[in-house]
Structure formats: structure tokens, C-alpha cells
């Protein structure tokens, strides 16, 4: 057991590092109850290497990332890689090592695993999403995702449950940065030219029910303003976007399924239109990116 435990503290003999953070346990479906009161609890988060026992939970987190398009990708391949290459990457748990992870931050060398079905599907999927009207970016992105050169691409896999506090990302990114550097020194395949991020985004949408047939209210549709602001589900992604040399928004291929799912979360007059953003960060900016994330997301030390 202890051999698989990630010891993140500076001292060898210090126990597994924990991060204390406040978690909002309020049920979002009960906003009108209890006068809007929220239950706040203190939770200690433990960091562990990805382990065989995490396979299904990691696959579930990846399914959450790709939403309605998850069925288009062999996500089990990525779960296998995250577990196999567990010298780099961290899961977050709240009970013990046998419990399911609430978050994952790791990196996958897409070039190293380019023959895997899941990797082939992912690169094709993202290449097809790249806007054709921007010829310069389209050409550059497709060349990077072709994995045909010796300039390797590392997909930074970052996903967590929605109620997980952003404070956990500060130590996780610091650990990832340190582990990548150690792996490179050990001549392992973690020397990346590009770091790839897939960010979860959304825009606010308004109901067009009044414009529809009043006899068919179930046909309510949601309308997105193309000029409306883009929001990030994970706030650190806004920092990442500042360092990206190439980035573009894209919609789900199975957008109808995603809109149907979102309608269950939307209020009567307003909802969200979820989408994704691909970001490619050059290696020269990765350390600065990590430093800003750790500085911005770091939790305030307890008094």
C-alpha cells in the first residue's frame, strides 16, 4: 500500500500531503429552499498515484470531459495510459487510496501512444474541429496533431468533479511540473514541444419559448448570442488561455444530445450552451503558466 502512496511533501519522512479546503455541499436543485443557506465543510484531500483500482473512475472523469461525444472515443485507452504511466500525474481522494478519485491531473505523450486507437481518434476528432477559415492556425494545429514529427505533444489531462475547490490545482500543477522535470532527467519521454489542453466552456443562452408554438411548449429551444462571453467551468483554464499560441472553440458533434442533457439543468428562461476549447501552449511558456496557476489558485493558509 505505502509503495503506491504519493509523498508530495519536501521531506522524505513526512506523511502524504493534504490540502484543506472548503467544499460547498449545497444541492443546486434546491436553490429556493433553506433561504439559500449553504453547508460548508472542511475536507482534507490526499494525493495518490493513479492506480489500477481507479480505472473506471478515471474513465468516468474522461467521459465527463467529452460529454456527449465520449462515445466517439476509446476512453479506456487513456485510462490505461494514465495508470501505466503513473510516475507522472496525481489523483485526489478524500477517504483512502481505495476510494474513487475526485480529480485527475496528468499528462499523456500522444506521440508515444500514437498507435493507440483512442489517440488516433482524439487527434482526428480535434483536427476536424479546427476552424478552416483560419488557414494559418488550421495548418499549424493539424501539423501538431498529426504526431508526425519528433516534436512531441503532451495532453494535460485535467478533470475534476464540479464541486471540487480550485485550491487543489496549485499543488497538483506544482507536482506535475516537478515530475515532468524528473522524468526528462531520467530520459523518459516527457520532453514536450507542445502542451495540449481541452477546456470545458459555456455561454449563457436564453429561451426562445415565446417565439415557438404556444401549443407545443415542450419544443422550447435555447438561443445563443454568438457575441456573448465565454465562461470556463474550471477557472484556471482562463489562465491557460493567456499562454496558448493556438486556441479555438468547438461544439460537440452530438450537440443535440448535449443540449437535451443541459435542458435538465437549465432554469425556465435561461440555461447554458456547453462547448469545448482546444489550447496549445509552447514549452517555452509552460513554466510561467504553472507558476501563475499555483500563485493564483493557492489556498490561503489556515490561521
pLDDT digits (tens, 9 = 90+) for 141-156: 999 999 999 999 999 9
* Per-residue model confidence as pLDDT tens digits over 123-143: 999 999 999 999 999 999 999
Stretch 53-80: mean pLDDT:
97
Please report the pLDDT score of residue 11 as a whole number. 36
Gyration radius of the chain over CA positions = 20
pLDDT confidence band for 207 (50 / 70 / 90): low
Where are the chain's structural domains? 2-297
CA distance 219 to 131: 31
The grid cell for 245 is: 499560441
Other C-beta atoms lying within 10 Å of the C-beta of residue 244: 21
pTM of the model: 0.81
CA distance 202 to 250: 11
Place of cell 495510459: 81
Q: Which of 199, 235, 222, 230 is nearest to 271 (CA)?
A: 222
Cite the DSSP H helix spans in 160-246: 169-185, 236-243
Amino acid at each position: 500500500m505505502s509503495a503506491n502512496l504519493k509523498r508530495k511533501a519536501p521531506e522524505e519522512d513526512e506523511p502524504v500531503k493534504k490540502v484543506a479546503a472548503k467544499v460547498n455541499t449545497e444541492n443546486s436543485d434546491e436553490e429556493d429552499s433553506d433561504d439559500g443557506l449553504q453547508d460548508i465543510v472542511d475536507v482534507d484531500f490526499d494525493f495518490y498515484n493513479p492506480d489500477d483500482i481507479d480505472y473506471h473512475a478515471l474513465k468516468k472523469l474522461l467521459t465527463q470531459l467529452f460529454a456527449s461525444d465520449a462515445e466517439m472515443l476509446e476512453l479506456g485507452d487513456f485510462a490505461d495510459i494514465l495508470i501505466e504511466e503513473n510516475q507522472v500525474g496525481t489523483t485526489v481522494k478524500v477517504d483512502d487510496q481505495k476510494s474513487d478519485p475526485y480529480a485527475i491531473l496528468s499528462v499523456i505523450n500522444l506521440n508515444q501512444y500514437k498507435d493507440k486507437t483512442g489517440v488516433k481518434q482524439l487527434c482526428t476528432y480535434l483536427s476536424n474541429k479546427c476552424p478552416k477559415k483560419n488557414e494559418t492556425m488550421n495548418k499549424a494545429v493539424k501539423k501538431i496533431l498529426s504526431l508526425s514529427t519528433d516534436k512531441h505533444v503532451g495532453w494535460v489531462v485535467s478533470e475534476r468533479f464540479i464541486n471540487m475547490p480550485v485550491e487543489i490545482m496549485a499543488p497538483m500543477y506544482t507536482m506535475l511540473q516537478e515530475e515532468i522535470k524528473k522524468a526528462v532527467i531520467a530520459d523518459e519521454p516527457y520532453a514536450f514541444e507542445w502542451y495540449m489542453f481541452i477546456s470545458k466552456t459555456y455561454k449563457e443562452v436564453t429561451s426562445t419559448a415565446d417565439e415557438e408554438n404556444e401549443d407545443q411548449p415542450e419544443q422550447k429551444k435555447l438561443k445563443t448570442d454568438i457575441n456573448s462571453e465565454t465562461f470556463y467551468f474550471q477557472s484556471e483554464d482562463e489562465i491557460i488561455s493567456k499562454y496558448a499560441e493556438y486556441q479555438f472553440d468547438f461544439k460537440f458533434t452530438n450537440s443535440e444530445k448535449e443540449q437535451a442533457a443541459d435542458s435538465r439543468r437549465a432554469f425556465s428562461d435561461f440555461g447554458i450552451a456547453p462547448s469545448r476549447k482546444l489550447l496549445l501552449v509552447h514549452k517555452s511558456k509552460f513554466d510561467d503558466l504553472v507558476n501563475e496557476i499555483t500563485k493564483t489558485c493557492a489556498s490561503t493558509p489556515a490561521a
